[in-house]
Structure 1
Amino acid sequence: MKSALITGANKGIGLETAKQLLKQGLFVYVGSRDLEKGKAIINKLLNDGFSNVQAIELDVTKPDTILTAKNIIEKEQGHLDVLINNAGISGIVPQNALETTTDHYKEVFEVNLYGVINVTQAFMDLLRKSPEPRIVNVSTSVGSLSLQSNPNWPAYHYAKYAVYAASKAAMNMYTVHLAYELRDTAFKVNAVCPGYTKTDFTNYLGGEVEEAGKRIVKYALINQDGPSGQFFSEESNPETGEIPW
């Protein structure tokens, strides 16, 4: 049975992604900073008829919880097939380049960039034991330098998120380099924007969470002929999904 770990999966898009992977027959670890909240979600999932799912304490800013989670999965599964780096924060609102302090940047980068790096590096040994390892870094179209600087982009004049966008652009660059270093292996590494989705992250504005989960799962389960080192936003580009960095 294939196994997957999703960070920040006790609610929102992460939780929906977990449900969809469970329906595909994977064993899913629901990463949660608060283990009790994670266990509560697992109980609900079990009551809803799901199985092969387990809560695991994981705070991407705390290396000890990452290591403990890795040891648990290694003992129980021996490998990891799918890693979805979903945990993220937006930071204070509003954010602007002229006034937002570096302390706010550090807080967001700690989760959205350093957390992704810490988790990915910690689980690399287990991912290498999978015949078809997949890494999906959950990104956003506002992390695209090309789109953010294009006056013709529909969202160009929307509220700008200098901190959040910068952290995701940095994570995108990490994705590029990670995919390059793994280019001659069975790994597939991609950045995926789930779209503007109805969660607490957006004050429940936007599209349906089911569609967001579907977009992530698509690249978590791509076959060996699928892409790697790419940036996808099916909301921004419905035809191919691929968008400029």
Structure 2
Amino acid sequence: MSDETTPTALITGAAHGLGLEVARQLAATGVRVLVAARTAADAARAAEEADGVSALPVGLDVTDATSVEAAVEAVTADPGRLDILINNAAAFVDWTETATGADLDTAAQVMQVNLFGAWRMTQAFLPLLRHSPHPRIVNISSGGGSHADEAFGLTQRQGAAATYGISKAALNALTATLAAELADTPVLVNAVCPGLTATWPGAEDMGARPVQDSAPGIVWAATLPDDGPRGGFFRDRAPLGW
């Protein structure tokens, strides 16, 4: 495909781990992929590790409106289009955090990334996405923000990892709300739980799977056909209740 017709994706929080693996797998489908990180140097290092992947030339802090606007300007300048937005950037406190004992300032910082970061990115990049013939928005959520995850759902953790779960439940709600608003447009918005994925030391001891196994479900949502689902929550291409 020519530069004029090659679809372009932007992935936030893609300096390493799951985001970078999604970039690799999505690029292998023929999509032009831009990886974003909090610093341009981190994005550049990540892009060097993945064939067919480029770096967003500016640092991207999804909690900062000025930073997000700079990213919009960079993508508008080159390559001048956006077809797929993957809101992957995420924050976490720790597993022991509970709602009653949470530091609310820290909780607000997590919400700024996990909920408002995806919201801010969507608002900012929607004008570019509207110019795409096949626009897709994928919000990386978690079964920890659902009632349906039998291992790590909202009521399965005895209240642990409170802010993370609440933020992901809110992200699912944002996904459904955006999809309803955009129902009469070509923009498909969905959320994906990648499953328990080995993105931190010791994760394998909890049964986490490698990023290579979690990325395909995200790539699937990013490349859905025009008659694909809207406002859904999925894991490994299958609907997941929330």
* Match in the other structure for 1:237: none
Q: For the residues of structure 1 that align with 2:185 and 2:235, how far apart are their CA atoms?
A: 25
Counterpart residue type for residue 174 of structure 1: L
Shift of 1:40: 1.5
* Match in the other structure for 2:39: 34
TM-score by length of 2: 0.90
Q: Where do 1:89-104 residues align within 5 Å?
A: 89-104=91-106
Percent sequence identity over aligned pairs: 38
Counterpart residue type for residue 137 of structure 1: N
Give unmatched runs, 5+ long, in structure 2: 1-5
* Match in the other structure for 2:62: 60
Is structure 2 residue 241 aligned with structure 1 residue 241? no
Shift of 1:241: 1.3
Is structure 2 residue 121 aligned with structure 1 residue 119? yes
* Match in the other structure for 2:219: 217
For the Cα contact (< 8 Å) 1:91–1:107, is it kept in 2?
no
Q: For the residues of structure 2 that align with 1:53 and 1:40, how far apart are their CA atoms?
A: 10
What secondary structure sits across from 2:96 in the alignment? coil
* Match in the other structure for 1:18: 23
Shift of 1:147: 2.6
Counterpart residue type for residue 168 of structure 1: K
Give unmatched runs, 5+ long, in structure 1: 235-239
Shift of 1:37: 1.6
Is structure 2 residue 49 aligned with structure 1 residue 44? yes
Q: Where do 1:1-245 residues align within 5 Å?
A: 1-45=6-50, 50-51=51-52, 53-56=54-57, 57-144=59-146, 146-147=147-148, 153-155=150-152, 157-158=156-157, 160-200=160-200, 203-205=202-204, 206-234=208-236, 241-245=238-242
For the Cα contact (< 8 Å) 2:24–2:53, is it kept in 1?
no
For the Cα contact (< 8 Å) 1:92–1:104, is it kept in 2?
no
Counterpart residue type for residue 242 of structure 1: P
TM-score by length of 1: 0.89
Q: Once superposed, what is the RMSD of the aligned Cα atoms?
A: 1.6
Q: For the residues of structure 2 that align with 1:37 and 1:136, how far apart are their CA atoms?
A: 22
Q: For the residues of structure 1 that align with 2:53 and 2:46, how far apart are their CA atoms?
A: 13
